[in-house]
Amino acid sequence: MASKLHDTIFRKGSKTYYFSSFFFPKAVKRDVYILYAFVRVADNLVDTEGGSLEAFLEFKQRYHDALDRNTASGDSVIDLFIDLMHRKGFDPAWVDAFLYSMEYDTGDEICSSLDDTLRYIYGSAEVIGLFMARIMDLDESSYQAAKMLGRAMQYINFIRDIDEDNGLKRRYIPLVDTPLTSLSRQEAYKQPEAFKVFMRREISRYHKWQKEAEKGYAWIPRRLRIPIMTAADMYCWTSSVIYRDPFIVFERKVKPSKRRILRKGLARTIGVAASCYRLSK
């Protein structure tokens, strides 16, 4: 069972996902907490300036030892994740892909092409969509859409976090078909029109992937669709704020408030309830 530790990790790690998850049924919410704690702990180990390769590799080894030997690691984040992995039939290759992308962040490489970006996104986000599909017991026909939702959300994170990633000497968005030589504050203000065009084009790319993802909503039971759509709504809101003023990424991290998330979730709940009522008449 997920513990207070899992709750704390989740709550500190993502306001959008944490408060959106309130709308899951209890059993599903428990599994989401277990999943998120595992991926957040791994991400936190590399999400510092220069990364912490040694600590990350130790975490990775403890996971593999516990999985391969079928023994407890003594770390509840790892052990409950492995239990979840067995219960829900996660493909171990998905976990390996995730850990590969996390390890990528400890190096000094940048994504110079969209292919580079998508390779990273597969492990860092698309497999999270696959984990979620398994947690919700969705048909395999939904998997492509689940991956697209993870991809779309991750891309908005890249756009939102440009300034933070500059500080970490990372760049996930390739500079293709643009006169920009970097995504630094100095370069953006030196070529403001080019920066606006670039940012809005990349947000349009997000919208394309998001539309593909929405095709998968039909596979999600109505009760489980509420938190998924609520989180997606918040990413759409974030994209709209940045689209209006791309330079805002240098001023603050654009994130929805707790109130906005819960209000949208409640509106979705009422809307779905009303829809179910109409269908039952």
Query: What amino acid is encoded at 205 in this protein?
Result: R
Higher pLDDT: 3 or 7? It is 7
Angle at 145 between CA 141 and CA 147, to 5 degrees: 110
Give per-residue pLDDT as tens, 176-188. 999 999 999 999 9
Residue 56 lies in a domain: yes
Long-range contacts at 206-209 (CB < 8 A, ≥ 24 apart): 206/152, 206/155, 206/156, 206/159, 206/239, 207/239, 209/148, 209/151, 209/152, 209/155
Identify the pLDDT of residue 2: 66
Is the confidence at residue 57, as pLDDT, over 80? yes
> At 135, is the pLDDT very low, low, confident or very high (cuts 50, 70, 90)?
very high
Give per-residue pLDDT as tens, 168-177. 889 999 999 9
Residue 280 lies in a domain: no
Higher pLDDT: 48 or 151? It is 151
Is the confidence at residue 219, as pLDDT, over 90? yes
Residue 247 lies in a domain: yes
Residue 278 lies in a domain: no
> At 85, is the pLDDT very low, low, confident or very high (cuts 50, 70, 90)?
very high
Identify the pLDDT of residue 275: 46
> At 125, is the pLDDT very low, low, confident or very high (cuts 50, 70, 90)?
very high
Give per-residue pLDDT as tens, 94-109. 999 999 999 998 887 7
Identify the pLDDT of residue 11: 84
Is the confidence at residue 62, as pLDDT, over 70? yes
pTM (two decimals): 0.92
CA 144 to chain centre: 16
Question: Which residues span the domain enclosing 185?
Answer: 4-272
CATH code of the domain covering residue 72? 1.10.600.10
Angle, to 10 degrees, between the axis of helix 26-46 and the axis of helix 76-88? Answer: 130
Residue 218 lies in a domain: yes
Residue 277 lies in a domain: no
Total domains, the chain: 1
Residue 221 lies in a domain: yes
Is the confidence at residue 272, as pLDDT, over 70? no
As a whole number of angstroms, the distance between CA 121 and CA 131 comes to 14
Return the residue matching tokens 């428990």.
Answer: 30
The residues, any chain, with a CB within 8 Å of residue 66's CB and separated by 6 or more, are 72, 73, 78, 79, 82
Is the confidence at residue 278, as pLDDT, over 60? no
Return the residue matching tokens 């690691």.
Answer: 73
Is the confidence at residue 163, as pLDDT, over 80? yes
Residue 40 lies in a domain: yes
